[in-house]
Amino acid sequence: MARIAFVTHEAVPELMPDDRVAADELERRGARVEAIPWSAGDVGWSDFDAVIVRSAWDYHLRLAEFRRWLDAREVDGTRLANSAATIRWNSHKGYLLELERRGVGIVPTRLVPAGHADELAAALSELPAAIVKPAVSASAHATYRVDGARPSGESLTLAATNDVLVQPFLPEIAAGAGEWSLLFFGGAFSHAVLKQPAAGDFRVQAEHGGAATSAIPEASVVDAALAALAAVPAGPPLYARVDGVVQGGSFVLMEVELIEPQLYFAIHPPAAARFADCLVDRFLAERPFRIL
C-alpha cells in the first residue's frame, strides 16, 4: 500500500475539507493518506511514497524554520511536491518581477525593500489607490488597501520590517468581474473558479468573506495562465494555481501559487481524479498501487 503524507500545520493538523476530497480519491485507489503538520517532530518524511504540501498555512510566519524543513527534505531524499526548490522560489512574491522579465503580463508591481519608507511613499504617490502586501505572505495576511497618495500607518509599520509589494487597486475585482483562479496538475489545465469579495471588501479569500464558484474561462485566459506557468523555473509542478484578473480583455497575472493553495476539489470534484492521476504518474508509477 502506498503511503502519502498531506502536509498541514500545527493550528489545524487535520485535513481541510477540500483536501479530504483528494485524499478520498487516493484512498479509493488503495493508498493510505496521513495528515501531518510540517513542524511535527520525529516524522520519517522520506519513508512516505509522496509528501504533498497542502495546508502549511503558517509557513510565512515561520519562514526561516520552514526553509530549514525544506532543506532537510532535500537531504533525506523525501519525495516532496511541490519540490523544495519550487517552494523556495515561490515563497517571496518578488518572483512576479522575474516572470515579468520573462514576458508574462503581471499586475504592475513595485518591490520595496524592508525599511525603505521613502520608496514606499514614492510608489504610493503614483497611484490613486493601492494594495500593499508583504512579499512573504499567505491568505491576504497583512494586506492593506491604501487610498490616496500617502502611506497609511499600517503600511508604514509593515514596510519597516518586511519587503512589501505595492500594486494598483484593481476595481474590476470588487465591481463584479472578480478574480480568476485556474488550477493545473502536471502543467495541464484542470478547472477554474471565479472568486468574489464580500461587499465592501477587496479580499477574495473565504476567511475574509469571499466566495468562489466553478466557472469556465475564455480560452485566451487559459492560454495566458499556461504561459505564466511555463515561465516558472524547474519545469511543471505537480499542482499550481494561477490567479489573475481580466483587464481590457486580457488576463493579467496576480500570483502563481505553488506552495499551499486551495485547489477547489470540493467545488469541482472531478479534479480529484486528475490530481491523483498526476501524482501516481510522478511518484508511484513503479510502486505497488492499484488504479480502479
Q: What is the pLDDT of residues 160-197, one digit of tens each?
A: 999 999 999 887 776 667 899 999 999 999 999 999 87
**Among the listed residues 104, 116, 119, 144, the one whose alpha carbon sits nearest the alpha carbon of residue 230:** 104
Distance from C-alpha of 279 to C-alpha of 31, rounded to nearest angstrom: 11
204 band by pLDDT with thresholds 50, 70 and 90: low
176 with 164, same domain: the answer is no
Q: What is the CATH number of the domain that holds 211?
A: 3.30.470.20
Let me know whether 136 and 252 are in one domain. no
247, part of any domain: yes
Three cell numbers at 138? 499567505
Same domain, 135 and 234: no
Q: Are residues 183 and 100 in the same domain?
A: yes
Mean pLDDT of 147-155: 83
Measured CA to CA, the distance from residue 18 to residue 4 in angstroms comes to 16
Burial 137-168 (b: 16+ CB within 10 A, else e): bbebeebbbbeeeebbeebeebbeebbbbbbe
Name the residue with higher pLDDT: 151 or 176: 151
Q: Are residues 100 and 222 in the same domain?
A: yes
Q: What was the pLDDT predicted at 148?
A: 76
Query: Is residue 112 domain-resident?
Result: no
Claim to verify: residue 101 and residue 245 sit in the same structural domain: yes
Q: Compute the average pLDDT of residues 208-231.
A: 90
pLDDT band at 58 (very low <50, low <70, confident <90, very high): very high
Do 156 and 188 belong together in one domain? Answer: no
Tell me which of 168, 188, 206 is where a domain ends: 168
Answer whether 246's CB lies under 8 Å from 177's CB.
yes
Kindly state whether residues 10 and 81 are assigned to the same domain. Answer: yes
Position with higher pLDDT, 249 vs 66: 66
Give the residue numbers spanning the domain of 143. Answer: 117-168
Q: Tell me how many domains the chain contains.
A: 3
Average pLDDT (230-252) is 94
> Phi and psi dihedrals of 146, rounded to 5?
-120, 115
In a domain, 290, yes or no: no
Cα–Cα distances (Å) from 79 to 14, 35, 40, 226, in that order, read 21, 16, 17, 25
Task: Name the percent of the chain lying above pLDDT 90.
Answer: 77
Give the CATH number of the domain where residue 56 resides: 3.40.50.20
Mean pLDDT calculated for residue range 21-34? 97
Say whether pLDDT at 73 is over 60: yes
How many CB atoms neighbour CB 243 within 10 A? 19
Q: Which residue has the cell 511514497?
A: 49
